[in-house]
Amino acid sequence: MSATARDKQVSNLGWIHDLARAENHPDADKLMSESSAYDPNAKIEENTHEWLLELKEIFTDFARAFNAYSENGGRFAEIKIYTVAQTESDFMLFRNQLKLVVSNSAHGVISFSFSKHTKSPYLGAELGGEFPGAQEILAECGPFRDVRWTFRGQQVDAIQMAKFYFAEFIRMTRNKSAAVSQGVLLDQIKALLQERGIDLK
């Protein structure tokens, strides 16, 4: 378990409070337990909301750090993060007319999908003009009433997922025209050096 995950577990001690309260009021605890039986579907729904909020927070931190380089003279398009309309916790990343939407697409399912905002000759060039279909992570209840998130049967964590998709989003939204301009500039520099008799080999 990472230090971040461990800190989160230690700080979330509400269940200890419930156990201590039950020591003083055992009859009330018995009544509460009978009226609120364990419901795995409700547990998954609650955890899905928490996971999406955690992912949004991580992506926001990543975007803030990335955008700071542009503000300091990098001069590239910044990443914007928006809440998806009419949902509690879905959100999307936006840059250079491309969106990465992170949403609760079904019960116990969080999907990551890329889509164009508008048509552009530059978007998706390295993918033949197409984007990969939605990828899904699935929730399942563990043996001790914990909720685990998996991708193709392998357990994943929020930071691991955010790092991967953030890096992919940056790569896919890179400004192709800027890259072409830099390539032309490098060719001009090489030609100038060769004219002066400097061998680049």
Residue 20 pLDDT = 80
**Side chain identity at residue 117, one-letter code:** H
Domain ranges of the chain: 1-37, 39-195
pLDDT tens digits for range 189-198: 666 666 666 6
Between 162 and 12, the more confident residue is 162
Residue 126 pLDDT = 41
pLDDT tens digits for range 64-105: 999 998 876 667 889 999 998 778 899 999 999 899 999 999
- The one-character DSSP state at 175 is -
- The one-character DSSP state at 126 is G
Least confident of 47-51, 91-95, 118-122, 185-189: 118-122
Confidence of residue 154 (pLDDT cuts 50, 70, 90): very high
Cβ atoms 81, 67 nearer than 8 A: no
Residue 118 pLDDT = 46
* Buried/exposed 62-82: b ≥16 CB within 10 Å, e otherwise: bbeebbeeeeeeeebebbebe
